[in-house]
Amino acid sequence: MPWNAEESLSRQELSKLQSERLQKVCERVYARVPFYKKKFDEKNVKPADIKNIQDITKLPFTKKADLRDNYPYGLFAEPLEDIVRIHASSGTTGKPTVVAYNRNDINLWADVMARTFTCAGVTNKDVVQNAYGYGLFTGGLGAHYGAERVGASVIPISGGNTQKQILLLQDFGSTAICSTPSFALYIYDVICEMKVNLDTIKLKVGLFGAEPWTEEMRREVQERLRIKAIDIYGLSEIIGPGVSSECIEAQDGLHLNEDHFYPEIINPETGEQLPYGQEGELVITSMSREAMPLIRYRTGDITSLNPEKCKCGRTLVRMRRVRGRADDMLIIRGVNVFPSQVESVLLRSEEVAPHYIIEVNRRGRMDEMNVNVEVSPKFMDEMATKVLSTDLKAFAQEEEALIRLKQEIQKNVKDIIGVNTEVTLRPPNSIQRSEGKAKRVIDNRPK
C-alpha cells in the first residue's frame, strides 16, 4: 500500500491538483521573491495567466547559476524567522548552493520520504541504518525524517566509518540501509576483508541514490549483499531525496512525486518541452514548497518519463533511471559519453569489479579516454594460483588472459559507445573507494 492516497490518483484528479498548486506557487514567488517578479515581468507573464498545469510552459526557467547569483538568501520566499533549516550542496567550484525549509517544508519532506521508504517496503518493523552523510548534504537528514515517519528504528550512523557500519549491521540487526551505491559496494568489500559471514547480516533492502548508477551495478549490489537495491532520486534545490523512488514490487522506473514536484522533460539545447517517452533534461517545479519554491528548475539530469500505471498500483509518472548529468557528459572526439554507459559496458565482463575511474587527456588535438578498472578478486586469485605453480606456460597463459580481457573491454566500448579507449586493468583494491558520492572522471583536458 502506498503511503498517501495522492500516489494513486487518476490523471484527471492529479492534473486538477497540479493546476491549483501551480497557480498558488506562482502567486507566492511573484509576490515574495524579487528575482521571480523580474523574471515573470521579462517574460510578460503574470500569475493570473497561469490557469492550468499546461500553462507552465509560459513560465521562465530557473538555473543553478540563478541560485549562485542570489547567494545566499536571495531566493527565499519566507523571512528568516520562519526558516527552520538551511542545507547546501557543495559545488565543485565556488560557493555552495543554499536551500531553505520552513516547518511545512520539513513536514512535506518527511512525508515524501515516507513514500520512498514505503515504496522500498520499509515499515515500522524495520531497523534502518542511515549511512548517508548528515550535515549540509540533504541525504542524511532527509532519509532520517522519512524513516522515522514510517516508524522504523533509525540508526543515524552517517557516512564513512566502514568497519563500524559492519559491526552495527551485525549487532543491531539492520534490515534496511541507506547509502550511495558506491559506498554499499565498499561496505561489501570490507565485509569480505573482515571475513564476516553474510548470514550474520539481516539486511533485506537498500535505498541507494545521490549518484548515477546502472542496472548492471544494481545486479552486482543485489547479488553480493543479497538484498533488493532500490534507486532513489532527488536534489537539494527541490527538496533533497524524496523527489522519486522505485517500488520494490516492480523496480521499473522511479515514481516521481508529481503532485508536489511537477516534472517536464526538455530538449536541453532549445528548452522545448518533449513528450512522454523521449529522453531529455528533467525540469522540476516544486509547487508545494514554501520557503524556497523553484519554478521550472533545470536539474541537468538526463532521463525520460513514463505515465503508465505501475503494477504496484501507483499512478505517479515514472522516471527512468538517470543516465547522468548533462554537464558530466564527456565529449570524446565528438562522441557523447556518459560515465554510466562506460559502467554498464565494463560490468558485462565478469572478470572485472565495479570499481573504475575514467581519465581523459588531450594529446595534441586529440582527446584520449583511459578507463582504469579493477579485475575481480576471483579472477586475480585464479591467476595467482596458476602463476604460483611456477609453470612458465601457465604464466604466459595468464598474461594472455589479461590481454584478452583488456581487448574485449576495449572492443565492447568501441562497439557499444562508439569511442576508442585505452583500458588499464588494475589489481583489486587499487582504485580509491568512496564513502559518499563516487568520483568517476578525471578530466585533464585544458578548460
Handedness of CA 37, 40, 43, 48 (dihedral sign): negative
Q: Which of 206, 240, 263, 280 is close enough to bind ligand DLL by CB under 6 A? A: 240
CB of 377 to ligand DLL, least distance (A): 27
Closest contact distance (angstroms) between CB of 237 and ligand DLL is 7
Distances (CA, A) of 269 to 64, 276, 278, 280, 321: 16, 18, 14, 10, 21
Is 325 a residue that touches ligand DLL (CB under 6 A)?
A: yes
Q: Which range, of 48-56, 132-140, 166-174, 417-425, touches ligand DLL by CB under 6 A? A: 132-140
* Nearest distance, CB of residue 69 and ligand DLL, angstroms: 18
Q: Are 283 and 270 in contact (CB under 8 A)?
A: no
DSSP 109-145: HHHHHHHHHHHTT--TT-EEEE-SPPSSSHHHHHHHH
Selected binder of ligand DLL within 7, 111, 148, 211 (CB under 6 A): 211
Contact pick of 50, 110, 168, 235 for ligand DLL (by CB under 6 A): 235
Residue 241 one-letter amino acid:
P
Which range binds ligand DLL by CB under 6 A, 17-25, 230-238, 384-392, 405-413? 230-238
**Under DSSP, is residue 277 helix (H, G, I), strand (E, B) or coil?**
coil
Q: Please, what is the minimum distance in Å from the beta carbon of residue 261 to ligand DLL? A: 13
CB 274 within 8 A of CB 246: no
Please give the radius of gyration of the chain, using alpha carbons only, rounded to the nearest integer: 23
Please choose, out of 134-142, 265-273, 286-294, 375-383, the segment that lies near ligand DLL by the rule CB under 6 A. Answer: 134-142
Shortest Å distance, C-beta 254 to ligand DLL: 7
- Rounded to the nearest whole angstrom, what is the least distance from the CB of residue 150 to ligand DLL in the complex? 16
Kindly state the helix (H) or strand (E) to which residue 158 belongs, with its residue range. none
Q: Are 428 and 375 in contact (CB under 8 A)?
A: yes
Could you give the CA distance from residue 432 to residue 412 in angstroms, rounded to a whole number? Answer: 25
Please tell me the distance from the alpha carbon of residue 223 to that of residue 115, in angstroms, as a whole number: 26
Among 190-198, 206-214, 382-390, 419-427, the segment contacting ligand DLL (CB under 6 A): 206-214
Residue with the CB atom nearest ligand DLL in the bound state? 209
Our CB check for ligand DLL shows the closer of 40 and 137 to be 137
> Is residue 354 near ligand DLL by the rule CB under 6 A?
no
68 binds ligand DLL, rule: CB under 6 A: no
User: Which CB atom, from 147 or from 423, has the smaller least distance to ligand DLL?
Assistant: 147
Q: By CB under 6 A, which span of 58-66, 131-139, 167-175, 329-337 interacts with ligand DLL?
A: 131-139
Question: Are 121 and 147 in contact, with CB atoms under 8 Å apart?
Answer: no
Write down the least CB distance from residue 147 to ligand DLL, Å: 12
Question: Alpha carbon of 50 to those of 11, 36, 55, 277, 432: distances in Å?
Answer: 19, 15, 5, 26, 50
Using CA atoms, how far residue 3 sits from 8, 64, 225, 446, in Å, is 10, 31, 27, 49
Q: Does 372 bind ligand DLL (CB under 6 A)?
A: no
| 139 is a site residue for ligand DLL (CB under 6 A) | yes
245 binds ligand DLL (CB under 6 A): no
**Span from 28-36, 234-242, 290-298, 376-384 in contact with ligand DLL (CB under 6 A):** 234-242
418-422 long-range contacts, Cβ below 8 Å, gap at least 24? 418/335, 419/332, 419/333, 419/335, 419/337, 419/369, 420/369, 421/369, 421/370, 421/371, 422/368, 422/369, 422/370, 422/371
Q: Smallest distance from the beta carbon of 89 to ligand DLL, in angstroms?
A: 4
Write down the least CB distance from residue 196 to ligand DLL, Å: 26
Sole binder of ligand DLL in the list 129, 174, 299, 315 (CB under 6 A): 299
Site residues (CB under 6 A) for ligand DLL, limited to 80-99: 89
69 DSSP assignment: H
Cβ at position 344, least distance to ligand DLL in Å: 13
Nearer to ligand DLL, 40 or 356 (CB): 356
Smallest distance, ligand DLL to C-beta of residue 125, A: 23
Q: Residues binding ligand DLL: what is the number (CB under 6 A)?
A: 21
Residues 295-304 as b/e (b if ≥16 CB within 10 A, e otherwise) read bbbbbbbbbb
18, three cell numbers = 497540479
Helix axes 392-416, 377-388, angle to 10 degrees: 150
Question: Which residue of 120, 205, 232, 287 would you call a contact of ligand DLL, by CB under 6 A?
Answer: 232
Which residue ranges make up the site for ligand DLL (CB under 6 A)?
89, 132, 137-139, 209-212, 231-236, 240-241, 299, 301, 322, 325
